[in-house]
Chains A and B, each alone.
Chain A
């Protein structure tokens, strides 16, 4: 188990080096998929390696000449990486520009500074009622598939797509198993390690990640845990598109809390909902995109409540409170948050929101908030 975790930590500690090396080792082209909703299976079926674009590891410098400081962390960090040439190993990019406004300017900036060999703009629609939405989403995915066929010169057959979906579904079920064991034995992994496990799956070929997960699960199943002290269970919610600073995750645990489950993008949201393998695979991928739960505020779903989902997760895990992680300048989450908080108040759920930025976070300020939260729910 330690060996696997060490390998995973290696991948996530230097995603640039890892992905560049991957390209050499596998002799395949790399396609960066901007989070959160690009169906990577289609890229995989085209014989390419899809990787999910990540928030960088350095403060933004040159990027500020290209995007305003009031764009979110991953937007500024990704643009900074691109204009500084840190992503030169990428052969192409896919941007779903209807997710949020900020995603809409990447292709324009990329064309001017990066000139990728392949670039695709996706207009996946908000999940509004009606057949028009479903038809359009399917056509968008078909146009994505065609663009990859044009780029590679290879047709993507239904069979090859189904094989890719199988590999991705396998990954989802393995990740679900990791979470299941974690729910039963929350002390078995640190929250930081869980995030690294999910994140590594966004960087590694899923086949390789599946092998690691199988080994990890075996180790997790065998390992018995005797908690040294009672910890207060909390659920993390939010943090769309990007990683959360590991320091914050450590801080949560240092304050006597433990995370048995989460509703984070680099967390359970990423591997939720397997793709149905019966029938047309493109339709099945469209159906997965059009699934309303877990609710994503970028998808315009208003007939179910994000707060209800989070509360259910909290109660299912016998957790005592919810920590919302909001990325500064993330409009979809920011717009939704007041209603999320109201729902918590209505249901008598203790919740705290921490705001994170890319470069600087005042850990002391976050610590104070979390400490007070932990005291409220009965910890520390």
Chain B
């Protein structure tokens, strides 16, 4: 390690205020007479598009708590309530928060508390995702509506799964939202959110293209923290402003040949699979940077959310149009999250973004992205000669992350890449 590598992060400071505002508004919503919906999975958009409902979504809250270092206290509350450690940490985070609120347990950081919901929208995308909705319904009697969102294991299955989800949403979810909000679901309002959102995501995609540059002007972590404005300022001008600013920075860096890693760019371009470890982003990148290694592209941060740029905001059936994004649109989330589609997608990413090695982050409590990871590594290594490793931990639960073990594995991966280069 003769070269002293240093990270040169993009300016993503615009994210913090947007995040804070989002959660503050949610905390204050009840006082303003709004209804609250807690949502899991991509069906949250229907609640979001309802003017008098303020919505939360599961992964966003987990990223917020994890990113701000507030998760441990809530996870401890969950354990106190009786949750078991090998339960999904996002699940525990929510049941822990609900237990803190309903039992009036002392809290050192009040920002972790949200208002209890009037409606739970359990999108069962991951089969474990809806359990926390069911649990909160059982424990506290909150109205729940649960929707099955099967992930497709082949492209042939996509149309019928899309039809199934559409039927469920129209049959049970929309009426539940209408009942809670007291008004008819406003499709035009949904369009008015999706139009600027689409515009934002088109700019976001332009930013993503900069991962093709060598050296790369940014890392996957810069992109990861920038996910927040897509959700927290959905359909609002601040979101577009944030991405325009990001794009400008990337263009400037490229023009001036300023890399994400000082002094002269990355030595290793790594693919990152699985969740982003929200509580440990700094910890993980600090294990890579001294070697000149950075995460460049990843399946989850790209795929985990339907791509609004593929949406026809003027479609007659806007309710179905959203569901189309999950299934039959080009960036099919439903297929790419499974092992077959995942492998196809990863193959594409490693070629497009000149990847040297692969890090597969395997969560000990959430198996959604773990499926087939070891097989995929073997398949890709055989086909392209690109090595990969599994590192295990958790997105937010610090008791599940062993730093030394992860560091050793990363070092082994980089040594393998070196050996193959020779």
Contacts and interface: CB of A to CB of B under 8 A. Distances in A.
Contact of A335 (B91, B139, B147, B392): B91
A167 B374 CA distance: 42
Interface in A64-100: 65-68, 70-71, 97-100
A341 B87 contact: no
A100 B128 contact: yes
B372 A109 contact: yes
A117 B161 CA distance: 25
Interface stretch (A47-55, A121-129, A265-273): A121-129
Interface string A154-170: 00000000000000000
B265 to A, nearest CB: 34
A302 interface: yes
B164 A101 contact: no
A149 B283 CA distance: 54
Interface in B377-399: 379, 390, 392
Nearest to B369: A101
Interface residues of A, number: 48
Nearest to A302: B134
Contacts of B139: 339, 342
Contacts of B368: 101
The interface centre, meaning the residue of A68, A135, A139, A342 with most chain B CB atoms within 10 A of its CB, is A68
Given A101-B127, A108-B340, A335-B131, A126 B171 contact: no
A98 B153 contact: no
A76 B66 CA distance: 30
Contact of A302 (B81, B137, B147, B148): B137
Contacts of B84: 334, 337-338
Given A123-B157, A132-B164, A338 B86 contact: no
B339 interface: yes
22 contacts: A67-B374, A68-B362, A98-B148, A101-B127, A101-B367, A105-B372, A130-B171, A130-B172, A132-B164, A139-B160, A298-B127, A300-B148, A329-B86, A331-B87, A331-B88, A331-B131, A332-B128, A335-B128, A336-B135, A337-B84, A339-B135, A342-B139
Given A101-B370, A101-B371, A133-B148, 16 more contacts: A98-B127, A98-B150, A101-B368, A129-B172, A130-B171, A130-B172, A131-B171, A132-B167, A135-B167, A136-B164, A300-B146, A331-B127, A331-B128, A335-B135, A336-B134, A339-B138
Interface of A: 65-68, 70-71, 97-102, 104-105, 107-109, 112, 121, 123, 125-126, 128-133, 135-136, 139, 297-298, 300, 302, 305, 328-329, 331-332, 334-339, 341-342
